[in-house]
């Protein structure tokens, strides 16, 4: 009897070991594509970051050498950036975040071909080249949104290259994880990438893909850090010895920046609606030239700080004692984003939104006659508020600004700014800027698909 029981125990143990080894093998095979895609994403993000910094450096040199040259170079660069997107990959236009959101919504077998139009290798190339040309021309754009679409394209391509015998991986989870890894690598904000995936991209419970998400963010972030060093996107602003009533200032700045961010988004959407009436490419080209001339003229004759992503502007108001900026600079930053984003070229609004919010915080602080530490907190609050007004993601905005500056002591102020901006921005529009653009991409693709089906049926 004991021998019989021993045989049963041995058989059960063998089966258990076999099942455990098979499960381990399956888990490893499912994790491997995420690791490979994360490593590629980190490498591309580093290369893109350096190229973008060089493009902005080149733009600055052109401006300081002969500022009037911008009346020529800006329109030319804007038209060239638009043409690259139009001729090479039309879905590479704009930020890239709405395209990723649309891809997640369409990620099912029925619409695989539509997702391929939003995330592919051509998108990566067009996104990088077009945004770099825009940056050389002084475009008020960022590289962070484009990095997210680039990362989504990398993860999508790696998933498509898996052989048929490979354990199946959710296409939707792959894209969401890629977007989070892209944001983490772009800003060096791993927590921001995770919160962004949960708050903005998905309604799926995080337990379904938390391991893949965490490992992808870690690998992409470590790859970027390994090549660029453990940098902070901005630095360590002084926020010590804050006034006891400073939270009133944070609320006021968050309300102002949230409303302005939402209004700017609304204006961009209205311009897109107006552009749909264009019956020829000639009208679009003329509009792009007009945008380039407006930005060049304002930078030459009003204030040069309206140019570029605004990173240097944020560093200047946070880390120098001269925090005075003209009251109209926030307006210029918003106009720069409007006229850059509506050209149809590639380029994001993340960094420009942060810089616009920073200028609002600086202006209000001067009106309140705050000291440097209180001013820095209002600047950070303005950054969170403006980004929230566009994205309606208060926690993502707060965490990103927190990780960019490593100021954990003011996390509650930043969350207060995010929540305040969310509430006031809903008075302008119930949907976020990215939601509107996502609906637009989904509608365009489905409409195009329906037309193709009708054509096939008629033939």
The confidence score (pLDDT) of residue 180 equals 85
Spell out the residues 6+ positions from residue 99 whose beta carbon is closer than 8 angstroms to its own. 91, 118, 119, 123, 149, 152, 441
**How does pLDDT run across 254-264, given as a tens digit for each residue?**
999 999 999 99
The confidence score (pLDDT) of residue 202 equals 61
* Cα–Cα distances in angstroms (integers) from residue 380 to residues 159, 375, 445, in the given order: 38, 9, 38
Question: 266: closest CA among 354, 337, 362?
Answer: 337
For residue 369 the two structure tokens come to: 């006659």
Q: Which residues of the chain have pLDDT under 70?
A: 1-25, 200-214, 218, 221-222, 225-232, 454-459
**How does pLDDT run across 432-454, given as a tens digit for each residue?**
999 999 988 888 888 777 777 76
All domains in the chain, ordered by first residue: 33-228 (1.10.3080.10), 246-441 (1.10.3080.10)
The model carries a pTM of 0.88
CA distance 187 to 193: 9
Residue 97 in contact with residue 348, Cβ under 8 Å? Answer: yes
- Work out the mean pLDDT of the chain and round it to a whole number: 86
Three-state secondary structure call for residue 264: helix
The confidence score (pLDDT) of residue 12 equals 46
The confidence score (pLDDT) of residue 210 equals 59
CA distance 349 to 233: 16
């Amino acid at each position: 009897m004991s021998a019989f029981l021993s045989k049963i125990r041995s058989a059960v143990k063998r089966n258990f070991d076999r099942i455990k080894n098979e499960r381990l093998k399956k888990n490893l095979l499912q994790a491997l594509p995420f690791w490979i895609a994360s490593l590629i994403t980190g490498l591309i993000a580093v290369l893109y970051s350096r190229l973008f910094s060089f493009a902005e450096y080149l733009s600055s040199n052109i401006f300081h050498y002969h500022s009037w040259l911008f009346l020529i170079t800006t329109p030319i660069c804007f038209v060239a950036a638009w043409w690259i997107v139009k001729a090479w990959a039309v879905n590479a236009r704009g930020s890239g975040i709405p395209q990723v959101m649309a891809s997640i919504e369409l990620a099912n077998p029925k619409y695989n071909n539509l997702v391929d139009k939003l995330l592919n290798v051509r998108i990566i190339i067009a996104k990088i080249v077009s945004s770099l040309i825009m940056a050389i021309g002084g475009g008020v754009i960022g590289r962070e949104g484009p990095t997210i679409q680039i990362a989504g394209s990398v993860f999508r391509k790696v998933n498509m290259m898996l052989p048929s015998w490979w354990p199946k991986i959710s296409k939707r989870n792959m894209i969401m994880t890629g977007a989070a890894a892209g944001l983490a690598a772009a800003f060096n904000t791993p927590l921001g990438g995770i919160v962004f995936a949960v708050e903005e991209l998905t309604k799926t419970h995080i337990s379904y893909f938390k391991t893949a998400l965490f490992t992808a963010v870690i690998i992409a972030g470590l790859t970027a850090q390994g090549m660029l060093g453990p940098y902070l996107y901005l630095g360590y602003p002084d926020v010590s010895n804050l006034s006891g009533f400073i939270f009133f200032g944070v609320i006021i700045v968050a309300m102002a920046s949230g409303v302005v961010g939402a209004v700017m988004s609304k204006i961009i959407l209205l311009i897109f609606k107006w552009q749909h009436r264009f019956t020829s490419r000639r009208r679009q080209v003329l509009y792009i030239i007009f945008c380039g001339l407006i930005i060049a003229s304002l930078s030459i004759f009003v204030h040069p700080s309206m140019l570029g992503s605004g990173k240097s502007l944020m560093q200047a108001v946070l880390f120098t004692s001269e925090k005075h900026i003209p009251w109209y600079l926030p307006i210029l930053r918003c106009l720069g984003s409007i006229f850059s984003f509506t050209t149809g070229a590639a380029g994001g609004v993340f960094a420009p939104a942060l810089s616009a919010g920073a200028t609002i915080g600086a202006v209000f602080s001067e009106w309140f006659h705050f000291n440097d530490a209180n001013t820095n907190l209002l600047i950070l609050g303005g950054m969170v508020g403006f980004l929230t007004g566009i994205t309606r993601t208060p926690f993502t905005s707060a965490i990103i600004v927190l990780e960019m500056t490593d100021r954990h002591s003011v996390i509650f102020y930043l969350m207060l700014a995010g929540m305040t901006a969310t509430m006031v921005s809903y008075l302008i529009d119930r949907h976020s800027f990215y939601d509107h653009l996502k609906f637009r991409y989904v509608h365009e693709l489905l409409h195009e698909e329906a037309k193709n089906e009708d054509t096939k049926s008629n033939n």
